[in-house]
């Protein structure tokens, strides 16, 4: 029975087979697609003869490049083949109920656009009057996606044409074919950003789609040639690692301010969306038609996208800078160590050998033993999660990304080490009257400092006899004694000898506002005798920033962690003076 000609013309039947749920598609052609890299815009041309066709069976067919849910996979690739310069694929759609609306759109011809995700092993580049053109030396496809706005306007589901039975071909009227030609040419011209009059001229001239593509390509090149050229002298590099490093530096500058490295200045005006888009394009993923949500979701989830690394590096740089800037002055009083694990570590301190004894000629050397003691310390891990929300990414709000409290954590631990006055290995607290390292109550004065210095100078070693002369170097005060300490340590030019300040320029003032009011301390030079110690894990020194998978939030998750420990080494290097 003959078919209704008007109906056949309006539906434009495609190659979808409802029995096998398969549809044939042109997924890549050599049509130039404009891209952008660190050096600026270029035309990308995918060449079929350099395509790696191994391991293509079973590749996912996605809905608009989305991968947030398993429901976004609406089919799989059954096979890939070459037809001239084009890459064809046979797509098998799923029978799942939640994908039925997508399959119906394929069947009735509503959905026609196709795009691909791909990875490029290497590029060949040439320059001409039309600009830079890059073609892959080898590439392979990672996904096929159905989209309403493909980057390559020639990539689409195949219509029933030369492979259709002859009786069906007869039902497609010349009017329908002409309507298709006009529509395809107008779509091609519109997506190239050209004036509608160009489409009218091509249609009036009777151009087919192949000729129209060539004319549109020439028009785009002519427009580029007539555009003003702005040349910069910034060094360029196509290495993705270099680009990531430079963009991380620019992003860190936008987060925390400061001076941007010269080679990263070209990226200062890029938003997070721009960087996410570029990272996908470097990974061979087309972002044409993607919303901001889609771009960030794909950039965060794509296995070859360097966007998560870029954000992690920038956050790590800002965190490290702010960490160093906020470091507690108490670390000046400590000796730094690195530990290989989280086991308890003991710092052994040997006593003096004693005086050398005179011996007669051919006399016997007498032996002595060395006293020893040891204080223990153990590393602990401190961590905090940081969520980069979807709103923050889209709004490009970078003010809070670099915040970290690692320096505050270290300061709290070191302050507690002093204030808690723990027992040492001999069972006696650090500051105790029996050790003679607690002075009489006094404000910071020359008299009080003289008394503390004398006590430290005359301290003996583990044998109880050898004087070690723990030379004072630092005065540690709380915030309420800062002015008094500055006055007593000020170096002045006296008018008479009685006015000479014996401590002027000899002691260094350290102020720790977390210390309780009034009580202050004198510490020896750590190069000679260290009172305290702190340590990091040898494989992770300082604050570490890592990215974690964010399945329960819309955005990206990071974690900041610190492997840190602190403990006392020797009470002899410290002297406490209670406030008056």
What is the C-alpha separation between 312 and 318, in angstroms, rounded? 10
Task: Return the DSSP state at 493.
Answer: -
Q: Determine the distance from the C-alpha atom of residue 38 to the mean position of all C-alpha atoms in its chain, rounded to a whole number.
A: 19
Residue 390 phi/psi, 5-degree rounding, is -60, -40
What is the C-alpha separation between 472 and 459, in angstroms, rounded? 12
What is the C-alpha separation between 580 and 577, in angstroms, rounded? 9
Q: Is 555 helix (H, G, I), strand (E, B) or coil?
A: strand
258 phi-psi bin (left φ>0, alpha ψ -120 to 50, beta other):
left
Residue located via tokens 């000020």: 490
Q: What pLDDT does residue 271 have?
A: 78
CATH architecture of the region 329-356+368-577: Alpha-Beta Complex (3.90)
CB-count burial class (<10 Å; 0-12, 13-18, 19+) for 389: middle
What is the C-alpha separation between 262 and 267, in angstroms, rounded? 10
Beta bridge partners of 562: 382
Q: Is 334 helix (H, G, I), strand (E, B) or coil?
A: strand
Residue located via tokens 């003010």: 399
What angle, 0 to 180 degrees and rounded to 10, lies between the N-to-C axes of helices 272-282 and 307-325?
130
Q: What pLDDT does residue 364 have?
A: 62
Task: Return the DSSP state at 393.
Answer: H
Q: What pLDDT does residue 497 have?
A: 43
Q: To which H or E segment does residue 123 belong?
A: strand 114-128
Q: Determine the distance from the C-alpha atom of residue 328 to the mean position of all C-alpha atoms in its chain, rounded to a whole number.
A: 26
182 in Cβ contact with 203 (< 8 Å): yes
Q: What is the chain's alpha carbon radius of gyration, rounded to the nearest angstrom?
A: 37
- Show the DSSP H helices in 396-551 as ranges: 406-419, 446-457, 482-489
What is the C-alpha separation between 162 and 180, in angstroms, rounded? 16
Beta bridge partners of 521: 476, 576
List CB contacts of 505: < 8 A, sequence separation 6 or more.
Answer: 491
The overall longest dimension of the chain from CA atoms, in Å, is 132
58 in Cβ contact with 51 (< 8 Å): no
Burial 448-463, CB ≥16 within 10 A → b, else e: bbebbbebbeebebbe
**Would you list the domain boundaries of the chain?**
5-226, 240-325, 329-356+368-577
What is the C-alpha separation between 572 and 524, in angstroms, rounded? 8
What is the C-alpha separation between 116 and 86, in angstroms, rounded? 13
For 149, 329, 440, 449, 455, the CA distances from 437, given in Å and listed in that order, are 78, 22, 10, 13, 7
Q: What pLDDT does residue 440 have?
A: 92
What angle, 0 to 180 degrees and rounded to 10, lies between the N-to-C axes of helices 240-256 and 272-282?
170
Q: What pLDDT does residue 73 have?
A: 92
What is the C-alpha separation between 415 and 126, in angstroms, rounded? 63
Q: Record the pTM.
A: 0.47
Q: Which two tokens stand for residue 339?
A: 């530990």
Residue 443 phi/psi, 5-degree rounding, is -80, 165
What is the C-alpha separation between 498 and 419, in angstroms, rounded? 37
| pLDDT by residue, tens only, the chain of 580 residues | 333 333 333 344 678 888 899 999 999 998 888 877 777 788 888 999 999 888 777 899 998 888 778 888 999 999 998 888 899 999 999 999 989 999 998 888 888 889 898 888 888 888 866 778 889 999 889 899 998 778 788 888 987 654 433 333 333 455 666 777 788 788 888 878 888 888 888 888 877 777 777 788 878 777 766 655 444 444 445 577 788 888 888 877 777 667 788 888 888 777 777 888 888 877 777 777 777 777 777 776 655 567 777 776 776 666 666 666 566 788 888 988 888 888 888 765 544 545 555 666 666 655 554 444 578 888 888 877 666 665 666 655 555 444 446 778 888 899 999 999 999 988 999 999 999 999 999 999 889 999 999 999 888 877 777 788 788 999 999 999 999 988 888 754 444 445 555 666 688 899 998 899 989 999 998 888 888 999 988 877 777 776 665 555 556 676 778 888 999 988 999 999 998 7
CB-count burial class (<10 Å; 0-12, 13-18, 19+) for 529: buried
């Amino acid at each position: 029975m003959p078919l209704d000609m008007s109906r056949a013309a309006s539906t434009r039947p495609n190659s979808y087979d409802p029995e096998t749920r398969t549809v044939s598609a042109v997924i890549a052609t050599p049509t130039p697609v404009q891209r952008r890299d660190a050096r600026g815009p270029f035309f990308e041309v995918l060449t079929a003869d350099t395509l790696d066709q191994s391991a293509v069976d079973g590749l996912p067919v996605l809905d608009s490049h989305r991968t947030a849910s398993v429901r976004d996979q609406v089919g799989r690739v059954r096979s890939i083949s070459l037809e001239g310069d084009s890459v064809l694929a046979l797509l098998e759609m799923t029978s799942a109920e939640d994908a039925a609306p997508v399959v119906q759109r394929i069947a009735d011809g509503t959905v026609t656009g196709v795009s691909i995700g791909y990875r490029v092993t290497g590029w060949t580049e040439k320059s001409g009057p039309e600009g830079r053109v890059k073609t892959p030396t080898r590439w392979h496809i990672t996904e096929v996606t159905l989209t309403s706005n493909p980057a390559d306007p020639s990539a689409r589901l195949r219509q029933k044409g030369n492979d259709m039975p002859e009786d069906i071909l007869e039902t497609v009227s010349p009017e329908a074919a002409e309507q298709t030609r006009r529509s395809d040419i107008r779509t091609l011209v519109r997506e190239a950003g050209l004036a509608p009059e160009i489409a009218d001229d091509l249609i009036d001239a009777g151009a087919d789609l192949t000729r129209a593509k060539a004319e549109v390509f020439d028009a785009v090149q002519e427009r580029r040639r007539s555009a003003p050229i702005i040349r910069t002298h910034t060094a360029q590099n196509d290495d993705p690692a270099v680009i990531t490093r430079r963009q991380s530096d620019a992003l860190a500058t936008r987060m925390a301010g400061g001076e941007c490295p010269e080679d990263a200045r070209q990226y200062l005006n890029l938003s997070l969306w721009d960087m996410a888009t570029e990272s996908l394009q470097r990974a061979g993923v087309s972002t044409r038609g993607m919303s901001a949500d889609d771009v960030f979701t794909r950039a965060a989830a794509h296995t070859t996208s360097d966007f998560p690394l870029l954000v992690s590096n920038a956050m790590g740089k800002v965190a490290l800078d702010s960490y160093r800037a906020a470091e507690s002055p108490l670390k000046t009083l400590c000796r730094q160590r690195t530990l290989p694990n989280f086991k308890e570590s003991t710092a052994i301190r040997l006593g003096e050998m004693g005086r050398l004894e005179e011996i007669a000629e051919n006399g016997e050397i007498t032996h002595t033993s060395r006293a020893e003691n040891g204080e223990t310390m153990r590393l602990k891990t401190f961590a905090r999660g940081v969520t980069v929300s979807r709103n923050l990414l889209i709004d490009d709000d970078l003010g809070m990304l670099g915040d970290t409290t690692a320096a505050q954590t270290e300061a709290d631990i070191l302050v507690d080490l002093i204030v808690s006055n723990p027992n040492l290995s001999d069972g006696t607290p650090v500051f105790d009257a029996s050790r003679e390292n607690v002075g009489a109550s006094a404000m910071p004065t020359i008299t009080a400092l003289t008394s503390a210095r004398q006590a430290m100078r005359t301290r003996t070693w583990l044998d109880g006899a050898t004087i070690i002369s723990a030379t004072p170097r630092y005065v540690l005060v709380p915030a309420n004694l800062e002015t008094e300490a500055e006055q007593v340590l000020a170096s002045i030019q006296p008018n008479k000898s009685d006015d000479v300040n014996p401590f002027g320029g000899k002691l260094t003032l350290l102020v720790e506002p977390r210390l309780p009011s009034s009580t202050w301390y004198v510490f020896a030079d750590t190069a000679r005798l260290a009172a305290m110690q702190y340590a990091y894990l040898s494989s992770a020194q300082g604050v570490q920033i890592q990215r974690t998978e964010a399945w329960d939030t819309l955005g990206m998750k990071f974690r900041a962690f610190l492997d840190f420990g602190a403990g006392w080494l020797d009470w002899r290097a410290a002297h406490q003076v209670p406030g008056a």
